[in-house]
Chain A
């Protein structure tokens, strides 16, 4: 009996899990930050996978290249997909880099350098948030009617086409919306909108290139134009999307908003901790691990952006 016990507790069999040591060899705070990051990562992946699943189940999903093609101060006709969001990514990578330098300086307890690089990180994060604010407002305010690009999803034979279909410019002439160029007939998202609301004022008929509106009663063409300007200058909201499936914009606002909120809370954390480092609040602890924990969170924000960037802007 005794021998059995002693062999089962033989010291030769000890592992890191036998107690007395830290199996992960990591401090409590950092470990918990990692577990938080893991769970938050799952939340984001849940959103992004939901986006992917909904995208591939809707035939009229917008092509991001046609949605995100603007740049500040370049006007409505500027067409360079990924340029602006690429700049945003660059800014976030730079801020991640400055953060890693700050963490390293924190390890060496160089508080001046730590604060300096944390301030640079905060600046990068603030610029990123401003970029996102511009992108949101650009998307929400939308574009004027003459600039509106519409997606065609059915060809003349009534076959459903997917995102390969080129976008058509919609121009407004008196009573007639001319769809140029190409062969397709029905502009579905916008078309449905027209039919639904226009039914009260005029009848709608379509052929290969035109959607013709015939007045009912005393309606005049000028009145229709106003009507259409009102009806068609809608930007993207949670329920409307001029580029196609409304789910696209609601998911875009949800997920980038969620990410932006993470950036914002990261900024708040960084400001507080930079302030504490500047006041030498961590000197008495003998280490600047708070900077490292904040850094972990900040890199996580960057890590998630890499995924958001891929799922929302790159994948078509």
Chain B
């Protein structure tokens, strides 16, 4: 116990949590102050603060938890560089092999999706140059965007190969966005009227 140095004393949890909470609050305050200052390239300075705060957070939290800033060597116990595959690795290898056995080479499919994405983008640009009404354009753009998103997530990100319950776990929350945009557009319609009249 006597050999333990001051730096190794555990920091109370509440100190750590106060410190962690301070970072976002401080960032927001700094951004606000910077943006409200006149004749200042606000974006640059705000970005600078954010980029400064992230390493600062790392350094201070390392110091608080009594660790070295940079670790150059492993401790004696974990010196071995031999990687021992665990259960997780065995599971992953199994599922990849299963996938390779039961599916043909998917490259053809990827090429097809690539062309679809490209053609849909070109169609979108074509629509933007056309003289359709704004509303029609908006509907078409949203439709094509969702088509592209489905192809990217489904094929490129292999979401189609996942289990049904996992797909729903991811897709269901996305539907809440519809409610979100509905609220925001209602609000903005009110604001527009307020600004105009």
Contact = CB atoms under 8 A, between A and B. Distances in A.
A82 B95 CA distance: 43
Interface size band for A: 35 or more
A45 B152 contact: no
A220 interface: no
A49 B110 contact: no
A272 interface: no
Contact of B42 (A46, A57, A239, A299): A239
A108 B152 contact: no
A297 B136 CA distance: 33
A26 interface: yes
B17 interface: no
Interface string A266-305: 0000000000000000001111010000011001101100
B125 interface: yes
Given A58-B195, A160-B196, A316 B134 contact: yes
Interface string A230-246: 00000001110000000
A100 B110 contact: yes
A210 interface: no
A56 B185 contact: yes
A116 interface: no
A41 B174 contact: yes
Interface in A160-189: 160
Q: Is the interface of B mostly helix, strand, loop or mixed?
A: helix
Contact of B83 (A250, A284, A309): A284
B2 interface: no
Contacts of A134: none
A118 interface: no
B184 A49 contact: yes
Contact of B152 (A54, A65, A284, A306): A306
Contact of A237 (B43, B153, B165): B43
Nearest to A292: B158
A231 to B, nearest CB: 13
A46 B54 CA distance: 22
Contact of B114 (A45, A97, A309): A97
Interface of B: 35, 41-43, 47, 82-83, 85, 88-93, 95-96, 99-100, 105-107, 110-111, 114, 117-118, 121-122, 124-125, 127-129, 134, 137-138, 141-142, 144-145, 148-149, 152-153, 155-157, 162-163, 165-166, 169-170, 173-174, 177, 180-181, 184-185, 187-189, 191-192, 195-196
7 contacts: A26-B163, A45-B177, A53-B184, A53-B187, A57-B191, A104-B107, A299-B152
Interface of A: 16, 22-29, 31, 34, 38, 41-42, 45-46, 49-50, 52-59, 65, 81-82, 86, 89-90, 93-94, 96-97, 99-101, 104, 107-108, 160, 237-239, 250, 253, 257, 284-287, 289, 295-296, 299-300, 302-303, 306-307, 309-310, 313-316
